[in-house]
């Protein structure tokens, strides 16, 4: 066990890192964040901000000297950085696990090879492969760049080979995955925690709705049969075990009309769809991340009550700071802003969570707040946006 008072290291300065940092500090730990941005959500609240790139030797050496353990808040940190740190301190998750999740080709091949059902796909490394026999069975489909795609970036819906070729060229001819577009009944996700002794627990299943490829609303518990929810939790645990994963992991899944579950993506970190755990669960996904990293017992992931989480994107700041009274006038609504200094369209700036005695009540209130915020943003007089 790493006792409180020790320093925990974090690669990445985004909002996930900010929430990890706050959870760790609440439990008595210091946090050192390595991030290249002068101002970042996590760096601004950390005990120490190491201003360096993720593969900077001096920055990594500084982090290794400072920390008893280290983790990451996003999957695109170089796996080699984690391997370097593992020579000097506890690291969670391991580099090999992150290397799988940060590359869609490796991820799909790992999942399929381990026996998990996935969307039919083809690996595309050359433009000519977009009209091959295998790819021809996948249209209409979604072309996704293998590395560094997120929140709808680096992907395109394609109806056929010609459109796919144009999209592939627009992505710089990078290796891609072409997935068949499926008819879905729902999208769900499960956040799972697995510690160094192999103990595991899962958070309640979230039902997710996306807009422009970005998570918009998460509904908890998911409005699916309990048998399917239990199956989703079992799949998430099996994925963590197959990866020999240590840490907090999110497994995103598609629910087909016939009730089948397909594994869509895995994220080797806490996840946007798990933000409801901050307000609605006994232990949040971020506290769980601290517990695993520090060798502490896993916390209870149980749900206090139904909850709905809504993302707040930079579009709402088009005419200045939104009127947060529209959220906070609801006594069971909880507002979380990430401290980002520049609001841009489709950039995640915060979220709010509505708690209620039923899913229906939470969803009704959450959507009413969302509508009022969007209407207020459109109607607001022009004024300077947040600097």
Confidence class for position 127, pLDDT limits 50, 70, 90:
confident
Alpha helical stretches, state H, the chain:
15-26, 57-66, 79-86, 95-101, 104-113, 133-136, 161-170, 226-242, 277-280, 285-294, 325-328, 359-379
Residue ranges covered by each domain of the chain: 7-91, 120-180, 184-379
386 pLDDT exceeds 80? Answer: no
**Residue 264 annotated as part of some ligand binding site:** yes
**Residue 150 annotated as part of some ligand binding site:** yes
Q: Say what percent of the chain tops pLDDT 90.
A: 88
**Residue 210 annotated as part of some ligand binding site:** yes
For 104-117, the pLDDT digits (tens) are 999 999 999 999 99
For 271-280, the pLDDT digits (tens) are 999 999 999 9
pLDDT at residue 382, as a whole number: 47
Cβ neighbours around 354 below 10 Å, total: 27
Can you tell me whether residue 76 is helix, strand or coil? Answer: coil
**Residue 149 annotated as part of some ligand binding site:** yes
Domain 184-379 is found in CATH 3.30.470.20? yes
**Residue 265 annotated as part of some ligand binding site:** yes
CATH class of 120-180: alpha beta
Question: Which residues face 147 on adjacent strands?
Answer: 103
**Residue 144 annotated as part of some ligand binding site:** yes
For 217-227, the pLDDT digits (tens) are 999 999 999 99
String of DSSP letters for 325-339: HHHHTSTTEEEEE--
Confidence class for position 155, pLDDT limits 50, 70, 90:
confident
For 309-357, the pLDDT digits (tens) are 999 999 999 989 999 999 999 999 999 999 999 999 999 999 999 999 9
Annotate 6-19 with b (16+ C-beta within 10 A) or e (fewer): bbbbbbbbbbbbbb
**Residue 360 annotated as part of some ligand binding site:** no
pLDDT at residue 134, as a whole number: 66
**Residue 104 annotated as part of some ligand binding site:** yes
**Residue 269 annotated as part of some ligand binding site:** no
Average pLDDT over residues 232-247: 97
**Residue 231 annotated as part of some ligand binding site:** no
pLDDT at residue 150, as a whole number: 64
**Residue 151 annotated as part of some ligand binding site:** yes
**Residue 5 annotated as part of some ligand binding site:** no
pLDDT at residue 75, as a whole number: 83
Q: What's the Cα-to-Cα distance from 347 to each of 84, 137, 206, 312, rounded to whole Å? A: 31, 35, 22, 8
**Residue 152 annotated as part of some ligand binding site:** yes
Fold adopted by 7-91: Rossmann fold (3.40.50)
For 279-303, the pLDDT digits (tens) are 999 999 999 999 999 999 999 999 9
């Amino acid at each position: 066990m790493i006792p409180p008072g020790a320093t925990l290291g974090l690669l990445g300065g985004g909002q996930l890192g900010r929430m990890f940092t706050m959870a760790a500090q609440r439990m008595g730990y210091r946090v050192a964040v390595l991030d290249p941005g002068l101002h970042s959500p996590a760096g601004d609240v950390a005990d120490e901000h190491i201003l360096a790139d993720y593969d900077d030797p001096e920055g990594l050496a500084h982090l290794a000297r400072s920390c008893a353990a280290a983790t990451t808040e996003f999957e695109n940190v170089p796996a080699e950085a984690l391997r370097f740190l593992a020579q000097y301190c506890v690291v969670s998750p391991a580099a090999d696990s992150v290397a799988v999740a940060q590359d869609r080709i490796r991820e799909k091949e790992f999942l399929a090879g381990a026996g998990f059902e996935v969307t039919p796909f083809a690996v595309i490394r050359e433009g000519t492969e977009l009209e091959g026999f295998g790819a021809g069975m996948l249209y209409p489909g979604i072309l996704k760049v293998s590395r560094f795609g997120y929140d709808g970036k680096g992907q395109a819906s394609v109806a056929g080979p010609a459109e796919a070729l144009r999209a592939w060229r627009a992505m710089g001819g990078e290796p891609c995955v072409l997935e068949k577009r499926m008819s879905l009944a729902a999208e769900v996700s499960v956040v799972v925690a697995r510690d160094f002794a192999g103990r595991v627990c899962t958070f309640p299943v979230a039902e997710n709705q996306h807009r422009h490829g970005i998570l918009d609303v998460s509904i908890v518990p998911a409005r699916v049969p309990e048998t399917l929810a239990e199956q989703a939790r079992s799949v998430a645990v099996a994925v963590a075990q197959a990866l020999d994963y240590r840490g907090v992991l999110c497994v995103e899944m598609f629910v087909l009309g016939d009730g089948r579950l397909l594994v869509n993506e895995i994220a080797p970190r806490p996840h946007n769809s798990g933000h409801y755990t901050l307000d609605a669960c006994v232990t949040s996904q971020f506290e769980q991340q601290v517990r695993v990293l520090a060798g502490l017992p896993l916390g209870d992931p149980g749900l206090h009550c139904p909850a709905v989480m809504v993302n707040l994107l930079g579009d709402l700041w088009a005419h200045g700071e939104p009127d947060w009274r529209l959220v906070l006038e609801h006594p069971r609504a909880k507002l979380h802003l990430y401290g980002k200094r520049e609001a841009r369209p489709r950039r995640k700036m915060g979220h709010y969570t509505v708690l209620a005695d039923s899913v229906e009540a939470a969803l009704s209130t959450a959507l009413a707040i969302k509508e009022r915020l969007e209407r207020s943003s459109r109607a607001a007089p022009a004024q300077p946006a947040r600097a």
